[in-house]
Structure 1
Amino acid sequence: MNTLLLGIGNVLYADEGIGVHFVNYIHENYEFSHPEHQLVMLDGGTLAQGLTPILAQYQALIVVDTVNAAGCAPGEVYFFDFDNAPPEIDWQGSAHEVEMLQTLTMMEMMGDRPHTMVLGVTPTVIEPMTLGLTERIAAAVPLMEKTLINYLTKLGWHCNKIANVDIAELIPQSYIPRLSMGDRESGHKPQGQDPQDIN
């Protein structure tokens, strides 16, 4: 089974970039191995529907993004099956969040959506031309990391921590796609278009 770890977000809008920052962080700090399965990491930016031909090639998908949750404080971490979302998740957040919902729903209607898990955090600040994370969102990263690693471990993945790079160290260059062709370490990559080439 091929699994895609997909970071979604606009890194130039402060906390809205957490999905991309987090997947870059996991890529720098971990190696993953499984006797039967492959894991690919991808910076999806804000492409959403443009990613459909890539997403359709995977049997499992883990989307990392901001989530809008009614009545919840900033920095709350959620991890749920897309088919069984908590009732407070209202999908009325940023434009790319809404578009990602539409993309997954459309793929479901077409019958080609992979099994989808969502790892999300409620944002504090979504402000144009702000590169970085607020304190509350940065503080949520260890719980997001633990949640992801625990989930993959339960599925039989060996998760080897190879570095201790702080997420803040990766943010200054995050506007340059690091994982646009998938996981560089394993050599696995999406067989569709490079997201940079999708209009």
Structure 2
Amino acid sequence: MHTAHITIMGLGNLLWADEGFGVRAAEQLFARYQLPANVDVVDGGTQGLLLLPYVEEADRLILFDAIDFGLTPGTLKVYHDDAVPAYLTAKKMSLHQTGFSEVLALADLKGNLPGQIVLIGVQPVQLEDYGGSLTDAVRAQLEPAIALAVQQLQDWGVSLSPRQDDDRLNHASLDMQRYEDERPSAELACRIGDDRVLQGEG
């Protein structure tokens, strides 16, 4: 009997405030639960078409992302299957969404789209804050988002147990608390982008 390969993927950019929601949710789920061998957790970041192999290998896919649904900031929404590509392309906030909608389209064209796709998305509050962490309203949705993913996994027959080691999805330097503690003040660091790049544009 075939055991379904499940991929849980966090999308987004940790450097731009609420854009980091998807990656933070994936990180915390990975840190909290020991997952069976058929379940992978991936920091998809903003890699676009480079994520195609991860999508094609999955029988079922759970996505965490910050999406502009046009709703009240901080709103958490869940979409399934055919509705997922539509919301990834409805109102693009960043290049990663363009890239990932293309990933799904290409996987579909090749006949390798996962049989089930679940998007757990949050309406962002703030994006234009370079080096910023999650806003309070979006941070408050991390726990509900993880709970939704856990429930979905259980519905798919996945058995979860608490993680017994201190393994993490990303390098320790990206830990959210450390990221916030070491963040320079607005006086010391440009908050609208990398100052080195911005100076070059001038």
Alignment partners' CA distance in 2, 1:96 and 1:87:
15
Corresponding residue for residue 76 of structure 1: 75
| 3-state SS in 1 of match to 2:57 | coil
Does residue 1:171 correspond to 2:176, yes or no? Answer: yes
By relative contact order (CA 8 Å, sep 6+), the higher-ranking structure is 1
> Cα distance 1:5–1:87, how it changes in 2: closer, same or farther (>3 A)?
closer
Corresponding residue for residue 9 of structure 1: 12
Alignment partners' CA distance in 2, 1:100 and 1:87:
12
Q: What is the Cα-based RMSD across aligned positions, in Å?
A: 2.5
Corresponding residue for residue 60 of structure 2: 60
Alignment partners' CA distance in 1, 2:74 and 2:85:
16
| 3-state SS in 2 of match to 1:100 | helix
Corresponding residue for residue 155 of structure 1: 156
Corresponding residue for residue 111 of structure 2: 111
> Cα distance 1:79–1:13, how it changes in 2: closer, same or farther (>3 A)?
same
Alignment: residue pair count:
166
> Cα distance 1:87–1:24, how it changes in 2: closer, same or farther (>3 A)?
closer
1:11-49 Cα offsets, whole Å, 9 max, x none, are 10110011111111111111134xxx7100111110021
- Do 2:78 and 2:120's aligned partners in 1 also have CA atoms closer than 8 Å? yes
Which consecutive residues of structure 2, in runs of 5 or more, have no partner in the other structure? 167-173, 180-202
Larger CA Rg, structure 1 vs 2: 2
> Cα distance 1:39–1:114, how it changes in 2: closer, same or farther (>3 A)?
same
Alignment partners' CA distance in 2, 1:85 and 1:137:
20
Once the two structures are overlaid, the 10-residue window that deviates more, 154-163 or 127-136, is: 154-163
TM-score (norm 2): 0.73
Counterpart amino acid of residue 74 in structure 1 = P
Alignment partners' CA distance in 2, 1:110 and 1:128:
38
Alignment partners' CA distance in 2, 1:137 and 1:32:
25
Alignment partners' CA distance in 1, 2:153 and 2:54:
21
Alignment partners' CA distance in 2, 1:93 and 1:129:
15
Which consecutive residues of structure 1, in runs of 5 or more, have no partner in the other structure? 175-199
Counterpart amino acid of residue 74 in structure 2 = G
Corresponding residue for residue 177 of structure 1: none
Residue pairs, 1:25-104, within 5 angstroms: 25-33=28-36, 38-70=38-70, 72-85=71-84, 90-104=90-104
TM-score (norm 1): 0.74
